[in-house]
Structure 1
Amino acid sequence: MQLYNTLSAEERAQLIDEAGKDRLTLSFYAYAKIENPKKFRDDLFIAWNALDALGRIYVAHEGINAQMSIPADHFEEFRNTLEVYDFMKGIRLNVAVEQDNHSFLKLTIKVRNKIVADGLNDETFDVTNRGIHLKAKEFNNLLEDPNTIVVDFRNHYESEVGHFEGAITPDVENFRESLPIINEQLQDYKEDKNLLMYCTGGIRCEKASAYFKHQGFKNVYQLEGGIIEYTRQIKEENIESKFIGKNFVFDHRLGERITDDIISQCHQCGKPCDNHTNCANDACHLLFIQCDECKAAMENTCSSECLETIHLPVETQIELRKGLQVGNKIFRKGRSESLKFKISGDMANKPLAKIDPKNVSKKSKVKKIYLGKAEHYYTKSQIAQFLIEKNELAVGDEILILGPTTGEEHVTITNLFVDGQPSDKAQEQDQITFVLPFKVRPSDKIYKLEKIEENA
């Protein structure tokens, strides 16, 4: 009985590309009493693995919290796997605003003490006594009420790139920190103000609304389905968006655009920008906002120290990392003295810039064609080496290099060497090299991008 992943993320990505089928990124949660979370976890893994469902899921005695990617043609079968549990019958599935077939590349289901780390003792208050759920139009109407206080229950790196107009945006790194801070800030408004709260998908507000009612707040409301469901409703019903900017999401996309407004700055130069990146130094992995110019100049790193580090021999980098925590354990979210233009706490309500909607639509009409994988990067000469596993590549082609640390990098091929010799074209099983100003890793994949002709 298979209860674990047998493929690496890279192998899974290749299979997804070869299948050529669209996938849906979605999220859902449910609070319920689960007697045996371990058995519940194993049953879900068996059912979802058979459907090629992927994602990051937490289960606990108190319920389930899931962010997932599923094949679009298996959507109803996936829903059926939820419907067998009474507490998930008719559950709302928050489908992502923007779709990406690689949003999740493994099926990870973990048993936790809680599905959201809130630091609360649930025995001390009624967790079912929640606030009033509001749909998008109702939420907008209450926002207009001068007697309303709206609070963002997300973290500083989420609210920095997008939030509701006039929202209180606590300078916190996790949900646990936000509860006592907000409670103290709003002590004088328990009786007469409308407390309006929101988060990404609604799960944090489920617990927070009950907590604040227990703390004595009389008029507590929450955005049903969070920002994800709000966005779906405003688009379907042609409602004005009171949310400005991007909605941060917890997969490799790191954001879904809700409006054309850019309300944040590149943390390195101050230019209007709302694209997150992870520092390319494997001993850092700082999450921060970086514009395209700084991305090229700093080679995906957050500081001059990290830039120097990635150019050291691999053996030296490994030696420097010895004794340090790695991976998600050191994944810091935007806290560094190197980030000169980092803003936390009181966020801007006015856009610093607008994106060009034409560029967004063009970007979505591009087909990715899998070519192969990275083999080596020669740091001193800035030469990248790839193996072409299928299809062809030619000088002048636009390519995408994609990797968990490298992120997404778009490059146009201006020179090409095949098996060490200059060439205009490479084909299956060719080993290619070309100049690249940033480091690539063996886990990186290379794709050719082709524009899809629009229907007249």
Structure 2
Amino acid sequence: MQLYNTLSAEERAQLIDEAGKQRLTLSFYAYAKIEDPKKFRDDLFIAWNALDALGRIYVANEGINAQMSVPADNFEAFKETLNVYDFMKGIRLNVAVEQDDHSFLKLTIKVRHKIVADGLNDETFDVTNKGIHLRAKEFNQILEDPNTIVVDFRNHYESEVGHFKGAITPDVETFRESLPIINEQLKDFKETKNLVMYCTGGIRCEKASAYYKHQGFKNVFQLEGGIIQYAKQIKEENLESKFIGKNFVFDNRLGERITEDIVSQCHQCGKPCDNHTNCFNDGCHLLFIQCDECQAAMENCCSTECQEITHLPLAEQVKLRSGKQVGNKVFRKGKSEKLKFKHSGELSDTPLGVVSKTKNIRKKITVKKVLVGKAEHYFTKSKIAQFLIENKEISLGDKILISGPTTGEQELIITNLFINGNTSEIAKKGDQITFEVPFRIRLSDKLYKILN
């Protein structure tokens, strides 16, 4: 029986686009005692694969942690697959504020030692003995109490783009680093202060709350459902947002906007910005913040060195990184001496700017363009886009706009062009063209030629 993916990400994306049906991005977790994680994993794969559910899921003896994309039509059936297990009956599902049909393109379920790596080897530590859960209104109220200490249990690249006002934001790359740091920092307040914690969806701070209760802290609280649920509740209940900025998320979107405040800077020029990107150099993939102007100038690269490497022939790039370990994984080590405006650790509560709501409207008015084609394929390893020309002509050196619901609006100049597999300078209606792009394209993207 099939217990693995048989489609590539590109093939899956094409099927999703062809289906044209809405998908829901969601996450959930549960701490529980699972006797046979491998069988549990296989049973889930069979059930979810049948529903076209995709995502990244970890299971262990201590529970399950899932981030997923589920067809809206199959949502109720998906919930029934959870209700089969007592510890997941009626479980809270954190449905994303912003939806993206391509948030996940594979169903990956892995058995791990723990669903949240904590570095602890204490057999007396009971992860189910958790702190008191607080909804958004209660959370806001306890933050007003001068006897409260609030701690962000996310990593530096997450808290940098958005956090709760007055929160302690540890300068860490992993959850396991946070536990001893906060324990030492707050050891004198175990009986006198309210220790209030939060994370993206609740899973990290739930384990942290149990750990600090185990360490002797008396008044331990956590934000129920994390920032994801907080954002929903303040909107539904018309509450003030104590969170400022963007909530970093671990899928292709890389963030959900909670408030219009921008609290971080482009790591290259210092301009107010909170858009994460991955370095285009396959030997780097550093996660960093980059504004539109720097993205165009640096071609999605974190440094001139990486930019120069991306201009080399693919064979030379592979040779350069052969035998070397890629140190900057997508969600790790978001730091580099070359990033002059990177901030982490103690973060300011003062916004550096606000999102311009009229920016895209003005852009549409000022940019004159004509539709010339549609996306057909994206070659992940070579970062090559394939389009079919359906209208007009397009030439080497033309300024183009690639636009789509997930891609947004990306402008670039065609510096190399292959037409029907051969190098050429002009493509006409009916031609299939390919060229390099510094970002992922989707099959829903359209290709425009900019006229001015």
Gaps of 5+ in 2: 364-372
Amino acid across the alignment from 2:445: Y
What's the counterpart of residue 103 of structure 1? Answer: 103
Q: CA deviation at 1:414?
A: 9.1
The residue number in structure 2 matching 1:274 is: 274
Distance in 1 separating the partners of 2:393 and 2:444: 13
The alpha carbon displacement at 1:252 in A equals 1.0
Q: Which residue is 2:402 aligned to? A: 399
Matches within 5 A, 1:235-384: 235-326=235-326, 332-359=332-359, 371-374=375-378
Measure how far apart 1:24 and its partner are.
0.3
State percent identity of aligned pairs: 73
Please state if 1:16 is matched with 2:20.
no
Whole-angstrom distance in 1 between the partners of 2:296 and 2:252: 20
d(CA) in 1 for partners of 2:152, 2:29: 19
Say if 2:156 and 2:170, in contact at 8 Å, map to a contact too.
yes
Residue 429 of structure 2 corresponds to residue 426 of structure 1 = yes
Deviations 1:137-179 (A, max 9, x none): 0000000111111000000000000000000000000000000
For the 8 Å contact 1:402–1:445, the answer to whether it is kept is no
- Relative to 1, partners in 2 of residues 1:361 and 1:198: Cα closer, same or farther, differing over 3 Å? farther
- C-alpha displacement of 1:373: 2.3
CA 1:142/1:314 → structure 2, altered by over 3 Å: closer, same or farther? Answer: same
The match for 2:189 is 189
Opposite residue 172 of structure 1, the aligned amino acid is: V
In structure 1, what is the Cα distance between the partners aligned to 2:178 and 2:392? 50
Shift of 1:188: 1.7
SS at match of 2:445: strand
Aligned partners of 1:44, 1:120: CA distance in 2, in Å? 28
2-structure distance, mates of 1:58, 1:238: 35
| Structure 2 CA distance for partners of 1:128 and 1:422, relative to 1, 3 Å | closer
| CA deviation after TM superposition for structure 1 residue 393, in Å | 7.5
State the alpha-carbon separation in 2 of the partners of residues 402 and 328 from structure 1: 29
Partner Cα separation in structure 1 for residue 409 and residue 173 of structure 2: 28
Deviation readout 1:308-333 (Å, 9 max, x if unpaired): 11111111111011112359858643
When residues 190 and 440 of structure 1 are mapped into structure 2, their CA distance, relative to the original with a 3 A threshold, is closer
- One-letter identity of the residue aligned with 1:371: A
Please list every run of 5 or more consecutive structure 1 residues that lacks an aligned counterpart in the other structure.
364-368, 451-456
Provide the aligned length of Structure 1 versus Structure 2: 431
Note closer, same or farther for the CA distance 1:361–1:47 as it changes in structure 2 (3 Å cut).
farther
CA contact (8 A) 1:24 1:96 kept: yes
Q: Following TM superposition, by how much is the alpha carbon of 1:422 offset from its aligned partner in structure 2, in angstroms?
A: 3.3
Structure 1 length normalisation: TM-score? Answer: 0.87
Structure 1 position 47 matched with structure 2 position 47: yes
1: CA distance, partners of 2:303 / 2:344: 19
**SS in structure 1 at match of 2:123:** helix
The amino acid that maps onto 1:448 is: K
> In the alignment, which residue of structure 2 is the partner of 1:411?
411
SS of the aligned residue for 1:372 comes to: strand
User: Match for residue 368 of structure 2?
Assistant: none
TM-score by length of 2: 0.88
Per-residue deviation at 1:386?
A: 2.8
Which range is displaced more, 210-219 or 289-298? 210-219
Secondary structure in 2 matching 1:228:
helix
